[in-house]
A and B are shown apart, each in its own frame.
Chain A
Amino acid sequence: MVALWNNLPHLVQIWLLGLGKGSLILVWCLANFAFAMVLERKVSAWMQNRVGPWRSGLHGWLQAIPDLLKLFVKEYIEPRNVDRPLFILAPLVGFLSAVLIWLIVPIGPGGTAMNLDIGIIFIAAITGYDVIAIFMAGWGSNNKYSLLGAMRGAAQMISYEVTLVMSIIGVVMMVGSLRLSDIVEAQVNRGFFGWFLLPQIIGFGVFIIASLAELNRAPFDLSEAESELVSGYHTEYSGFRWAVFALTEYIHLVGWSSIAATLFLGGWSGPNLPQVLQGLGNILNGLGAFTNVAGDAVSNAAVSIGFMNTGMWAWAVGFIWFALKTYLFVFLAMWIRWTLPRVRIDQLMDLGWKFLLPVSLFNIFLTGVLRFVAVNYNGLPVSLGSFTLRLLGLWAN
């Protein structure tokens, strides 16, 4: 198999690799959609004391399959006077930008489809197409409600995109690289619990709020506020064209959650089974103070499965941690959606421009000052200030 691969011309290798990666990303996105959509319905039912999807397959966990099949065979209703090219292209443009995020997300050690140097900027750039997609859908539908929803969505997204990028800058300043895999490596190198969650807690808070607004999710779902605008820019869509919008929404949700996990919770990093057992054995042995049978047995077990530290095993563990952290944020978004009421448009704009943006700028300033102090006065004796900096993980080493 390897010999066959090596014999292929270089160009063929590149194309096959690209096709393979692209297909894998698409499959991964669809699987995430299927899971996140059912999860949302389950979570919402649970929070509102309802039953929720329960019948189709495994207590309702396969609900996405009949849903998609149903939408696939439904009629495409197309109102008269729509701007046809825009109307048809809009869902696809949105879908493309949602899927493209996954190109650079590290889903395991070295598990990035394209390890781009520009990382975060790539994501910010790709998000620009969402605005265009929403506008295309709203304008193309030739419907007042759709257009209103589209304009609201566009205004909201460009406002919060600025805030979102500014909230990430703090993390980038601490790592010194925009590459997402470098950001994960930096958090691994910072040692136990070396996530950027604590030193960048301000940036984290701003990022979570701004990404909810960027995703057009409740409490910021003004562009599809069903009590005011029917359902905003996708009012006129039906059948699979509507389904593509739903796909986009959930792929986006999982994509942004994965980025939050990568930036602030250390991405794929996390202890694997031998490390956990080693730690457990250490504790059972009283941190080396005495030895007993149980502690030795656990430590020996850790050594005997030491092969799990390398190769595919490490990759699998990294992937599991990544998925867990990602779905933590997915659940957080759902929790917020089914708990908080929708904000008004003026509240939304005030929150974005008058509160979150100044706060994220202050975070950049604070990170810069603390980094400067930490790098330039590294020889300082341990004082209260430097201890706090160490605790926050802002110290240079």
Chain B
Amino acid sequence: MSPDYAYLHSGDFIIFALLAIVALVSAFQMVIVRLITHAALFMALTFTAVAGIFLLMQAEFVAAIQILVYAGAITTMVIFAIMLSGLRDIKAERSQQVRRFGRSDYFVFVVGLIFAAFMTYIYVGAHLPLSQPNGSMATVKAIGTSLFTTYVIPFEAASLLLLIAMVGAIILTAKEADQQ
């Protein structure tokens, strides 16, 4: 089967390319930017661009959850974590010069390369299904039905895990409050 070059001229591809560029550039910026608050906001931008790609595949539900959970909740949580840590240090760091190449950078480079190779290996071997034409993506109803029938055990296991995490968080903070 010859590759379909007509796709490269379609509007879908142009929008996908734009979103992908935004996602990649902001992910890169997130890593290299000095101010940690900017990094959090770049992270939100990455998530938004990925949600746009989901929307392009007519997976509206996944896109909305991506924005709700990642761009909304997780970014806010990161921002709160930043605010609860020392704020003065964050502002001071801005003026400091960060050394570009240190000894550990080669190690980071090698680890990154191994990770990239691993991801490529998984992606190539995954045999992902082709996207279906005519917008036959799962609706909210279909997702909900399968969550509560076919996948009810994983669903309940996940909720139990979250409950345990919540109880753990409460116990940890309650201990701290007692000590004060």
Chain A residues at the B interface, C-beta cutoff of 8 Å: 11, 83, 86, 116-118, 121-122, 124-129, 131-132, 135-136, 139, 151, 154-155, 158, 161, 177-178
Contacts and interface: CB of A to CB of B under 8 A. Distances in A.
If over half of B's interface residues share one DSSP class (helix, strand or loop), that class is named, otherwise mixed; here it is helix
B83 interface: yes
B41 A136 contact: yes
A132 B75 contact: yes
Interface string B59-91: 011001101100111011001100100000000
A125 B67 contact: yes
A128 B41 contact: no
Contacts of B72: 125, 127-129, 131-132, 161
Given A125-B67, A128-B67, A128-B72, A118 B41 contact: no
Given A11-B11, A117-B140, A125 B79 contact: no
B73 A128 contact: yes
Determine which residue in A11, A128, A129, A177 has the highest number of CB atoms from chain B within 10 A of its CB, and name it: A128
Nearest to B61: A118
Contact of A117 (B11, B60, B71, B75): B60
Nearest to A120: B64
Given A125-B68, A126-B67, A139-B37, A118 B60 contact: yes
If over half of A's interface residues share one DSSP class (helix, strand or loop), that class is named, otherwise mixed; here it is helix
A131 B140 contact: no
B44 interface: yes
Interface in B23-71: 35, 37-38, 41, 44, 60-61, 64-65, 67-68, 71
Nearest to B90: A139
Please provide the 3 A-B residue pairs with the shortest distance between their CB atoms, ordered closest to farther: A128-B72, A125-B67, A125-B68
Contacts of A126: 67
A349 to B, nearest CB: 14
Contacts of B76: 128, 131-132, 135, 154, 158
A117 B68 contact: no
B60 A116 contact: yes
A121 B61 contact: yes
B7 to A, nearest CB: 15
A128 B68 contact: yes
Contacts of A132: 41, 44, 71-72, 75-76
B56 to A, nearest CB: 14
B83 A118 contact: no
21 contacts: A11-B11, A83-B35, A117-B60, A118-B60, A122-B64, A124-B64, A124-B68, A125-B64, A125-B65, A125-B67, A125-B72, A128-B67, A128-B75, A131-B76, A132-B71, A135-B76, A135-B79, A151-B83, A155-B80, A158-B73, A178-B140
Given A11-B11, A151-B83, A154-B79, A128 B65 contact: no
Contacts of B67: 125-126, 128
B139 interface: yes
A126 B141 CA distance: 21
A270 to B, nearest CB: 28
B179 to A, nearest CB: 21
Nearest to A139: B37
A121 B68 CA distance: 8
A129 B80 CA distance: 15
A117 B142 CA distance: 12
B98 to A, nearest CB: 18
A129 B76 CA distance: 10
Determine which residue in A83, A135, A151 has the highest number of CB atoms from chain B within 10 A of its CB, and name it: A135
B152 to A, nearest CB: 16
B64 A128 contact: no
B65 A121 contact: yes
B113 to A, nearest CB: 32
Given A118-B64, A118-B140, A135-B79, A128 B71 contact: yes
Contacts of A158: 73, 76
Given A116-B60, A132-B41, 13 more contacts: A117-B60, A118-B60, A118-B61, A121-B65, A121-B140, A125-B65, A125-B67, A128-B72, A131-B75, A131-B76, A151-B80, A158-B73, A161-B72
A153 B44 CA distance: 18
Interface in B136-162: 139-141
A367 B75 CA distance: 33
Nearest to B60: A118
Contacts of A178: 140
B79 A86 contact: no
A118 B65 CA distance: 10
B52 to A, nearest CB: 12
Contacts of B65: 121, 125
Contacts of B80: 151, 154-155
Contacts of A118: 60-61, 64, 140
